[in-house]
């Protein structure tokens, strides 16, 4: 390999290591805490019902709709 191809290879290697380092920092500092917050919110979220809860709520909504229609 001549000088310029070696220089290009070294540049690409250094660039890939720098990219990996900063990607890891972004993952640890920003993305992972954000995922943890989403999971914490998701576990407390009232919108993730079990199928039985969804069926029960559908029945209640139908009852309410029937009451409104009858009035």
pLDDT in tens, 19-63: 999 999 998 888 888 888 887 776 666 665 566 677 778 888 888
Domain with 25 in it: 3-70
Model pLDDT, residue 48: 59
Total domains, the chain: 1
Model pLDDT, residue 23: 92
Q: CA 63, CA 35: separation in Å to the nearest integer?
A: 38
Instruction: Considering only residues 69 and 26, tell me which one the structure prediction assigns the higher pLDDT.
Output: 26
Q: CA 50, CA 40: separation in Å to the nearest integer?
A: 18
Contact 42, 48 (CB under 8 A): yes
Coil, helix or strand at residue 12: helix
């Amino acid at each position: 390999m001549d000088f310029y191809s070696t220089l290009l290879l070294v540049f690409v290697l250094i660039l890939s290591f720098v990219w990996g380092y900063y990607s890891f920092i972004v993952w640890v500092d920003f993305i992972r805490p954000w995922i943890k917050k989403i999971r914490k919110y998701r576990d407390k979220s009232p919108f993730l019902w079990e199928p039985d809860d969804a069926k029960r709520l559908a029945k209640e909504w139908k009852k309410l709709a029937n009451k409104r229609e009858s009035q």
